[in-house]
Amino acid sequence: MAIRSFLILFILFFFSSLNPILSLYEDQVGLVDWHQQYLGKVKQAVFHTHKTGRKRVVVSTEENVVASLDLRQGEIFWRHVLGSNDVIDGIDIALGKYVITLSSGGSILRAWNLPDGQMVWESSLRGPKHSKSLFLVRTNLKIEKDNIVIIFSNGRLNAVSCMDGEVLWEKDFEGESLKVQQVIQPPGSNLIYVVGFASSSLFEMYQINALNGELLKHESAAFSGGFLGEVSPVFSETVVALDSTGLILLTISFQNGKISFHQMPISNLVKDSFGPAKIIPSSVTGIFAIKMNAVTIVIRVKDESKLEVVEKTNHETSISDALSISEGQQAFALVQHASHEIHLRVKLAHNWDDNLLKESVKMDQHRGLVHKVYINNYIRTDKSYGFRALIVMEDHSLLLLQQGEIVWSREDGLASIIDVTTSELPVERDGVSVAKVEHNLFEWLKGHMLKLKGTLMLASPQDIAAIQSMRLKNSEKSKMTRDHNGFRKLLIVLTRAGKLFALHTGDGHIVWSHLLQSLQKSKVCQHPIGLNLYKWQVPHHHAMDENPSVLVIGKCGPSSDAPGALSFVDTYTGKELSSLSLVHSVAQVIPLPYTDSTEQCLHLLIDADKHAHLYPKTPEAISIFEREFSNIYWYSVEDDNGIIKGHALRGKCTGEVADEVCFETRELWSIVFPSESEKIIAAVTRKLNEVVHTQAKVIADQEVMYKYISRNLLFVATVALKGSVEIGSVTPEESWLVAYLIDTVTGRILHQVTHHGSQGPVHAVFSENWVVYHYFNLKAHRYEMSVIEIYDQSRADNKDVWKLVLGKHNLTSPISLYSRPDVITKSQSYFFTHSVKAIAVTSTTKGITSKQLLIGTIGDQVLALDKRFLDPRRTVNPTQAEKEEGIIPLIDSLPIIPQSYVTHALRVEGLRGIITVPAKLESTTLVFAHGVDLFFTQLAPSRTYDSLTDDFNYALLLITIVALLAAIFVTWTLSERKELQENWR
Amino acid sequence: MAFSCKNSSKFNGFSSCIKMVMVGTSAIMMQQRTLAMEASLCVKKSKKKGADSVTRPNSQISAAMAAVTPLLLLLLLSSAPSFSSGSRNAYNINGRVKIPQGLGLGTKGYALPGRMSNVKVLLNGGQNITFLRPDGYFSFHNIPAGTHLIEVSAIGYFFSPVRVDVSARNPGKVQAALTENRKGLSELVLEPLREEQYYEIREPFSIMSLLKSPMGLMVGFMLAVAFLMPKLVENMDPEEMRRAQEEMRSQGVPSLSSLLPGGARN
């Protein structure tokens, strides 16, 4: 009895020694997680290298990031991610210490402190009308030590003080149809020219005093030919434009207020000219470029009106902005692409024939073409000018070139990930050495002594640093082979630039990258868009020698009937195995749960005309597919019309597109939401590969509840039409939110609940038999999270656990979705503090481990929240039995425990998605969060019960064993002595 | 406060519960102090340029002068005209984020990014995002009348979202309330409810933790068996013991010494 109670005590102690919260010690940061910071495709770059001290470049990107980079290494000094509708229109450096950004369609002007990124001031600019044309012009005008910037936005010209953001003067341009094309500030004068077109054939010029905004002159002249596109300023009082046909170049000069036109047909300049041209604006004095089809023509303007072609090339060419290097001298860079190399030339604006610099740099083909180039100069030791060029490539990467070398490069394409999938690494073969054995015994001992010191808290700071680096350097982590626990995988990510990257989960390094040909701009496909990634071939069992591959689906252009494009990429080597340009469009992709003999997964592509196309197009795939013909159902959600439809297959295609793999479809059911009162804002279904361990759930009083587990459940949330706008403009009375659970095979609505006084946005996650969704409660003015659990009532009579164990149950009775399901639902709602950007749920191999919700909060952190907190069976005072079962007493809000942020003290800026992948070890799940930043970690929702953790106290184990051994010997000698004494007696 | 504390103590441990209450009360005290000091006018129609320059604090004002600013603001605002007229239905929301100095610096070993430059202020779940000026002020421009939600995102601090009513009828009146504890704010000064510790604190090495661990218990148990059991046996009646020993011998249960290799000698 005593021993038994002792044992109970022992077990109690054992469990109390385990920490109830899943958390991290500060020295464990970076052991299993990694964090990478990116910027996105650079839109504009400004160098800051004048002063002594750190050389920087300030960039603004398409991900709305403004950042200051170290020019030597490309590291981020500071970075700010602006709101998604706060698009950056222009940046500049003023006063040598402030970064000025213009954003939100030219209505917000901010200044940031250059050294540390602290915002200094913010101004709101407004104008009389909304217009697209925006300009941020730096001036050298000085008014009492202050610089001013001239901003044209929304039909108003503003002069803003750089010191405190005060608007010094403003001038409206309220001409009815005036489209301002350029704002020119001739250097060294106090004048500003605003030029634009009015009513398509009128050229307007305004001359304004930069010091007080006074209108000095206003001239206009008509040109019967009309104008097309943009203008390019060539001199301070001359611009170049194209006529409305795009065949004649116009040189417009407005010297001394007199407007004069000079026409020059392009065919006179270029012999074999074809088609209309487009002006590529540049700020270089006397030089501009036009583009006709793929031909780029650089033209020099001489003496106001004489045009001269200086270069004509078929290669992709980018021209940098002008850089004034000394008094009256302007330099600019030209970058041309030639297969494996890029040619960089820096020239003086007035001297085309000589090159200041000519370099060729070998370039990885998978970076694509050069999209933008920015140059900066420095003075070499021999007092000549040296140039460095910052180039933005087609794959959104950023490179710094200097002296013919790539000094640094940043893979900023990873800031805009579209889709993620994973792939296993190759199995370890005989040839591959297993683990790196420690070099010698001494080092091994030293390492372990250090670790022992660390665990006994005797280590000095240097020792701690040594231990930390030892842990991080662990070569096991980033090995290129599969590991026993399944922690090492490849993350295959598709970026907006159409580039595929493979990242290693161990440390996040790029294993390979591939610019997909099918997603590149070409003659047939002008605006390719990457859509999705699917696992195409997952070899296991009988196709072990094949490499796994992924399927990349894209389409040409944003319209719904744009033709699709497929690519198949080997995930070990990154080679594109094949690519297909489809004749049909891709509206929906359904990965089928069938594979052929080479482990290729069958995919069904539904086009805009509701035809289904099967891939791979092999006879074997077709025969497999035909066997399962009647079991294939899918649904489609049409948000705009408020219709959800269920579909099934009907038969082979007929008509002109008779194809072996084309199938006709039929509509089974449709749910039409009343368009005047409800609008679909979210539709979520279960993950296809989710594993559920058990259907039965034993509750406190030995009773069993059966989860209603169906892959065909769809959660749909609709809001009242008025509530579909943003928070802050509706009252609780006029907004409501309805949540539906719909069976996608029959179209039956299994459950429906209305939340009055609530509105979107709704973020939801569906797993097993429950759905959790996040929405805004207008009455309480707080966010809420609700859970709906759905249980199968038809098996409720199998209450007895013994019946279940002995097999006397009716679980083997056939299940069909057509029989009316007898389900009950339980639901509960809780307050949640933060806005949410994404919700995901942990997933493990066998589904035994309890689940955690991963909530991406508005602060770009990821919070792990136990599913137990969202259990509809929570009550205010749970009974003893319920407490034993683990039911938490009910409170009105969900707890936010800082230690359970999986991103700990980091932010995943611009968070967009959270992906969970099961590891082979049941207790562990891999979490990848992506946005502008990337973050990866391993999570164990119920702690690692199936393996020893890294911080397992080996020292204590060793001490215990030694102590036990010592005790054995002591007792042995004692007992021996005693026996001897007894024998003598 | 007490209610939520009682429940969260289940997970956070008792100590954090106490800390929370303390932080909470100190926050309330600070609130009351600032209430008395600062001006209450924060939302107003920004049609006129003059208003803009009034509400925008001069960037020159240093942090040391932060305490004086409210008074200055009050003076300026009282002299500013009221802006009831205006064609457009857009308002500005101006406010301030205050992070008490004592809160961030107290912890050791955990470097908090005390810089204000990484603090974001979000309106209506990210519809508008703005940043703080060096003195902690922020503003949202062109906001329509209605009930809005302001959230503050700062690593290391927990801020309650704030409900802000911008009414078209009487511009210039702000109604703000913390949504977490439904406490009203008479002006928009946002302070963290508590500090957030993202890492567990490693407990220093101690004998007790060693003994309490499963290994320590095992050793303790073995030692108890090894040393206390013979004592128990000694205290037994010798006759009874002999009988027991004989019984054991007859059953062939080997003694401890015979089990060990040395036991074979006798």
- B211 contact A CB<8A: no
Environment class of B109 (CB within 10 Å of its CB; exposed 0-12, middle 13-18, buried 19+): exposed
Q: Is residue B152 part of a domain?
A: yes
Contact indicator for A501, A508 with CB cutoff of 8 Å: no
- B129 contact A CB<8A: yes
Option in A17, A116, A776 nearest B212 (CB): A17
Q: Which tops the pLDDT comparison, A158 or B69? A: A158
Residue A493 has pLDDT above 50, yes or no: yes
Contact indicator for A49, A376 with CB cutoff of 8 Å: yes
Touching A: B residues 26-65, CB under 8 Å:
46, 49, 52-53, 56, 58-60
- Segment A301-324 shows an average pLDDT of 80
In angstroms, the separation between the Cα of residue B124 and the nearest Cα of chain A is 6
Residue B170 sits in the same domain as residue B231: no
Q: Is residue B20 part of a domain?
A: no
Residue A602, C-beta contacts closer than 8 angstroms, at least 6 positions apart: A591, A592, A594, A595, A596, A614, A615, A616, A621, A624, A625
Contact B11 A27 (CB under 8 A): no
Residues B213-232 as b or e (16 or more Cβ within 10 Å = b): bbbbbebeebeeebeeeeee
ipTM reported for the complex, 2 dp: 0.83
Residue B191 sits in the same domain as residue B215: no
Q: Is residue B124 part of a domain?
A: yes
- Segment A827-834 shows an average pLDDT of 92
- Distance CA(A406)–CA(A410), nearest Å, equals 11
Q: 3-class DSSP state for residue A334?
A: strand
Q: Which chain A residues have a beta carbon less than 8 Å from that of B156? A: 905
Closest CA to A941 of A866, A869, A857: A866
Instruction: Grade residue A775 by pLDDT with cuts at 50, 70 and 90.
Output: very high
Dihedral-angle region of residue B240 (phi above 0 means left; psi in -120 to 50 means alpha; beta otherwise):
alpha
DSSP B50: H
Residue A109 has pLDDT above 80, yes or no: yes
Q: 3-class DSSP state for residue A461?
A: helix
Residue B182 sits in the same domain as residue B233: no
Residue B35 has pLDDT above 60, yes or no: no
- Segment B253-258 shows an average pLDDT of 52
**B56 phi and psi angles, rounded to 5 deg:** -80, 115
Q: Read off the tokens for B40.
A: 């209450």
Closest CA to B120 of A63, A123, A81, A60: A81
Whole-number pLDDT of residue A16: 40
Whole-number pLDDT of residue B172: 63
Q: Is residue B35 part of a domain?
A: no
- Segment A58-84 shows an average pLDDT of 91
Highest mean pLDDT among A518-532, A849-863, A870-884: A849-863
Residue B255 has pLDDT above 80, yes or no: no
Q: Count up the domains in chain B and report the number.
A: 2
Whole-number pLDDT of residue A941: 86
Whole-number pLDDT of residue A799: 58
Q: Which tops the pLDDT comparison, A700 or B258? A: A700
Q: Is residue B32 part of a domain?
A: no
Q: Which tops the pLDDT comparison, A142 or A694? A: A694
- Distance CA(A210)–CA(A207), nearest Å, equals 9
**Closest residue of chain A to B91, computed from CA coordinates:** A124
Residue numbers of the domain that contains B227: 204-238
Residue B190 sits in the same domain as residue B209: no
- B125 contact A CB<8A: yes
Residue A623, C-beta contacts closer than 8 angstroms, at least 6 positions apart: none
- B223 contact A CB<8A: yes
Touching A: B residues 62-121, CB under 8 Å:
92, 109-110, 115-117, 120
pLDDT tens profile B119-163 = 899 988 888 899 988 888 888 888 888 888 899 998 888 899 998
Q: Is residue B182 part of a domain?
A: yes
Q: Is residue B190 part of a domain?
A: yes
- Which run of H or of E encompasses A968? helix A954-984
Residue B222 sits in the same domain as residue B183: no
- B141, amino acid identity: H
Residue B187 sits in the same domain as residue B216: no
Tell me the HSE value of A106 on the side-chain side, using a 13 A CA sphere: 22
Contact indicator for A787, A770 with CB cutoff of 8 Å: yes
Q: Which chain B residues have a beta carbon less than 8 Å from that of A905? A: 155-156, 198-199
Residue B186 sits in the same domain as residue B97: yes
Residue B184 sits in the same domain as residue B217: no
Environment class of B33 (CB within 10 Å of its CB; exposed 0-12, middle 13-18, buried 19+): exposed
Bridge partner list, A233: A239
Q: Read off the tokens for A593.
A: 């749960």
Instruction: Grade residue B71 by pLDDT with cuts at 50, 70 and 90.
Output: very low
Residue B97 sits in the same domain as residue B158: yes
Residue B155 sits in the same domain as residue B227: no
Residue A840 has pLDDT above 90, yes or no: yes
DSSP B180: T
Whole-number pLDDT of residue A818: 60
Alpha helices in chain B (DSSP H): 2-12, 14-37, 49-55, 69-79, 101-105, 207-212, 214-234, 238-251, 256-259
Residue B121 sits in the same domain as residue B178: yes
Whole-number pLDDT of residue A273: 66
Instruction: Grade residue B25 by pLDDT with cuts at 50, 70 and 90.
Output: very low
Contact A118 B134 (CB under 8 A): yes
Closest CA to B56 of A398, A13, A166, A498: A166
Residue B97 sits in the same domain as residue B165: yes
Q: Is residue B126 part of a domain?
A: yes
Provide the CATH number for the domain around residue B178: 2.60.40.1120
- B130 contact A CB<8A: yes
- Which run of H or of E encompasses A295? strand A295-302
Instruction: Grade residue A492 by pLDDT with cuts at 50, 70 and 90.
Output: very high
- Segment B70-90 shows an average pLDDT of 37
Contact B127 A726 (CB under 8 A): yes
Residue A615 has pLDDT above 80, yes or no: yes
